[in-house]
Amino acid sequence: MVYIMDELEGIKDFVEIYRSLIWNVQYYGESDFELITTGTEENVKKLAVGRYLVREEDLKGGGEFQNVMIIEGQRLAFDVELGWTLTVTGRGLKTIVGRRIVWSQTTISGSVEGIIRQVINDNIIAPEDPKRQIKNFITEEEKGFEETADVQLLGDNISEWLASICQAYGIGWDVYIKGGAYVFKIYKGEDRSYGQTKNTPVVFSEEYDNLLSSVYTRAAENFGNAALIGGEGEGANQRTASIGDAEDLQRFEKYVDGSGVSSNGEIITLEQYEKLLEDFGREQLADTGSAPKFSGEIQPDGIFTINRDYGLGDIVQVETEKGITSAPRIIEIIYSEDDSGRSVIPTFSEWEV
């Protein structure tokens, strides 16, 4: 069952019968979906662009709705055998954050969590220009994450920037609805691998009969784990910074153009400026991450149950009969339903800062 919402006004309708449903939920980036149903006049009207969709399993009670998607496209097609088919597509609530950019030059040092909260507050919750405010948008209470950074922003799309900085520090983010408000949160998945003692390990393998299929890929042609970041100035007067401790043949160097990182007329110290360059370089290297990735179909109701024993953002153990053992993070989960049944396909990534 998929329910239809009018933004924050709650559930207005539902779709009970559909040909297929793909619900792709992301840890760092924006989620997306595709729903294919019969192309009746009623469905065309109620599945209008701009309406929200939420699955039955994401209704949490008390006015809380998780993994909500926004309808952004409709496609109505006719086939002699199938008749009229309506396909609706869109992305998750994270996209409303992407409707804003960093409007004023912002230089911030401190905890990554505090930096993110300030950017959200200054550009979405309480901007100087009231036209830029997104009403009924709030943040969860601060978690106290310890990671620190120095950032300088101007004109950055906030959703794209969040995906970049969160990937650099292994932090997830999301927007959900609760009590008639959009709630922004950042969070960390749990470590459920063999290398920790806090949680019961969650293992996907042929031996446990819960890894139905798997694909392992690694592409190193664009990989970088060390960088020289070039800042203000030219020639011998150019300011630079460097990151990366890898050595010998395990070191893959990149040059990062950080000329847009400003010292504000030398208002900030040289040490602060170098830290800004270093953090900018880390965010850029995140885009070159080519560490091993697994994708595969798992048994969602096997020895481990999704969203009970593990979930999006968690670090788990993956083992294959070919001797590949890994402790990757779940960065994406694709839920799929059609005539052949229900499947859950996660993407695991070992990318590390």
Does residue 248 register a pLDDT over 90? Answer: no
Mean of pLDDT values over 323-347? 88
**Domains in the chain: boundaries:** 97-187, 203-218+291-349, 226-286
Which of 119-123, 126-130, 173-177, 323-327 has the least mean pLDDT? Answer: 323-327
Neighbouring CB atoms inside 10 A of 74's CB total: 16
Closest CA to 351 of 168, 173, 198, 177: 168
For residue 161, what are the contacts with CB-CB under 8 A and spacing of at least 6? 102, 119, 153
Residue 270 to residue 188: CA distance in whole angstroms: 33
Mean of pLDDT values over 72-78? 96
At residue 195 the predicted structure's pLDDT band, cuts being 50, 70 and 90, is confident
Mean of pLDDT values over 282-286? 81
Does residue 273 register a pLDDT over 80? Answer: yes
Does residue 177 register a pLDDT over 70? Answer: yes
Does residue 351 register a pLDDT over 60? Answer: no
Q: Please tell me whether the overall predicted TM-score, pTM, comes out greater than 0.85 for this model.
A: no
**Local structure of residue 121 (DSSP, 8 states):** I
275, amino acid identity: K
For residue 6, what are the contacts with CB-CB under 8 A and spacing of at least 6? 12, 51, 52
At residue 353 the predicted structure's pLDDT band, cuts being 50, 70 and 90, is very low
Mean of pLDDT values over 26-51? 96
Task: Domain 97-187: state its class.
Answer: alpha beta
Query: How many Cα atoms are found within 13 Å in the side-chain-facing hemisphere of 76?
Result: 11
Closest CA to 175 of 294, 48, 319, 64: 64
- Taking each helix axis from N to C end, the angle separating 112-120 and 158-169, rounded to the nearest 10 degrees, works out to 170
